[in-house]
Amino acid sequence: MFDERYYQTDARDSIFGDWARGIRATLCVLPTGTGKTVVAANTVAQTDPDSRSLFIVHRKELVEQTLRTMKAATGRTVGAECGQRHTAWKFGKKQIVVAMEQSLRGRLKHYAPDAFDTIVEDEAHHCVAANRRAIREHFSGARRVVGFTATPRRADGEALGEVFESCAYERDVLWGIDDGWLTPMRFRVAAVDALDLSEVRMNAKGDFLDKSLTEILIRQQVVDTICKKTVAIADGRQTIIFCHNTRQAESVYRQLRQAGEKVVYISAKTPDHVRDELVRQYRTGHARILVQVMIATEGFDVPNVEVVAIARPTTSEGLQLQMLGRALRPKFPPTEGTANERRAGIANSEKPHATIIDFVGEQGLVPARCGGEVLGGVYSDEVRKVAIRLASKIDGDVDFAAIYKEAEEIVAARERRRSVQREHTAQEMRESGKTDRSTERKWMYSYKPDPFVVWKLDRSEASSLDRDYVYSARADAVDALRHAKLLDHEISRLSDSEQVYLARVLVLRARKELATYPQSRFLWLRGYDVSNMSKRDASRMLFQLTKNSGFRLAKHGPNEHFLSFLREGTNVAR
């Protein structure tokens, strides 16, 4: 087994603790650069020497590295399933099999369902993908499963709780920095005038559409700005530029080459032997800039990296963390000592901080993720847009904590002005005894209320649910909410515990034959109290409203929910 840091021991103990409690599949979340591989290797080393383990990786670049790690940590026989390598099943049984998921899926017929006792999933945020699902379903006889990831949230919103019954151990990037294991971050925001994201359409997963984004990113003015500002800010330090696709990456690479920079370019199409040589040049400093597409987001460990240039806008929190995580490894591993001693050691080292460069332009309806969002906090899209605009005006390091505070104050002032106007409009409607029907109709058919407000539920009850229970039940809860006709963005606004709690409420309401959520939403938007309305009464009321063009009946007075919205804005729904 490898020597461990205190938290790695805690993580491994927590994994075995969950298994001992009867949990088959558990998750371990540690930020990039804090040694997930050590925990994984030592976890396998602690299993029965006569048992067999399967270690699943997402990329072929990780196979050889993981084989060496597993052999060194355990001393057991190891084999691989990757490309032309079939050592795991052609040349006798190996105690540990390291497999690239794409290769293994096509070779499952060579393995019995109980061929492995333990399954380890690297980069476990991929666990709901088709290849991983097929592999897990085949190896139904495995007694223990553990996943490791730095980013437990997926861009497409699919829940890891569908696979993992618990989260045995979890730490984030800010903990890693504060505890002295990771390098502190400094943020730079570079404005790119020609980068107009308002022109970019969104895909089904809520991220920017590939073709639409590419056409903007390959504009010569955009490429020029990215290259010039990266070179100026990096100032000779080891840099990784993350590009959206090969078209953008090749444009950036050519521009840097023409400018005389020491740059290498790697893509998924780069032959293995060429890639190895280019990575060697980058590791040794013969090349200062690495331009790539999704090659260095996972499992690419070069402690020399000091600058990450994010030249590919994304709305994905997980992808953002993977990218900036490439620069957070200290140049030399911190010694044990205290957190203060470790932080001081990094501050006095050749790499006292990492620089994260965000390239921003005109934002669309959904703003792109910005590196500073890793500092924590949940902000509205409006606040994020204002923060990006403020940060882009700063020529130097950006204090995002201060920027977000200023942005919130600006948005709050806007909202106060809007509130005064809404109150004035609402008062006029109250005095006239009726509302502006065209405005009310537009609100009724566009506004999506909060289910907790519609049914008068107590949020504190949701937050008190057991954490492990919430984690294991979330996937089924989301399915139940969708089956009950809640819209995806109504569901996504709820926390995990609120989703699970609301799914339980749905069951109780069905037993009592109370109004369904579509009925409740419709009637609440017309100003009715539906918290305890029966399904039958709701149907009768819907019939009456249909004959009234969908509006609240005059004899019931004005629509107070609509008037509250006019006075308070979206606050009525939270």
Tell me the domains of the chain and their CATH numbers.
Answer: 6-171 (3.40.50.300), 182-340+350-407 (3.40.50.300), 433-573 (no CATH)
| Residue 326 pLDDT | 87
Query: Are the beta carbons of 29 and 74 closer than 8 angstroms?
Result: no
| Residue 91 pLDDT | 52
Q: Which residues of the chain have pLDDT under 50?
A: 154-157, 570-574
Query: Are the beta carbons of 292 and 250 closer than 8 angstroms?
Result: no
Separation CA 160–CA 128 (nearest Å) = 7
Q: Please, where are the H alpha helices in 392-436?
A: 400-432
| Residue 530 pLDDT | 93
Structure tokens at 273: 């032997």
Query: Are the beta carbons of 179 and 322 closer than 8 angstroms?
Result: no
Nearest one of 183, 559, 513, 571 to 345, comparing CA atoms: 183
Scan for tokens 């909202």, then name that residue.
Answer: 415
| Residue 342 pLDDT | 94
Structure tokens at 259: 């400018």
- Residue 548, number of CB atoms within 10 A of its CB: 11
Query: Are the beta carbons of 298 and 58 closer than 8 angstroms?
Result: yes
Separation CA 239–CA 287 (nearest Å) = 9
Residues 550-559: tens digit of each pLDDT:
888 888 887 8
What strands lie across the sheet with 118-121, from one edge to the other?
78-81, 96-100, 53-57, 118-121, 144-149, 25-29, 166-170
| Residue 239 pLDDT | 95
Residues 494-551: tens digit of each pLDDT:
888 999 999 999 999 999 999 999 999 999 998 899 999 999 999 999 999 988 888 8
Phi (first) and psi of residue 121, to 5 degrees:
-105, 110
Query: Are the beta carbons of 177 and 207 closer than 8 angstroms?
Result: no
How do the residues of the chain divide into helix, strand and coil, expressed in percent and rounded to 5? Answer: 50, 15, 35
Predicted TM-score (pTM) above 0.85: no
| Residue 157 pLDDT | 43
| Residue 429 pLDDT | 60
Return the exposure string of 52-90: e unless at least 16 CB atoms fall within 10 Å of the residue's CB, then b. Answer: bbbbbbbbbbbbeebbebbeebbebebbbbbeebebbbe
Residue 256, CA distances (Å) to 11, 230, 290, 433 in order: 43, 10, 10, 68
- Residue 108, number of CB atoms within 10 A of its CB: 16
Phi (first) and psi of residue 54, to 5 degrees:
-115, 125
| Residue 299 pLDDT | 53
| Residue 553 pLDDT | 87
Residues 83-129: tens digit of each pLDDT:
777 765 555 678 899 998 888 888 888 888 999 999 999 888 878 77
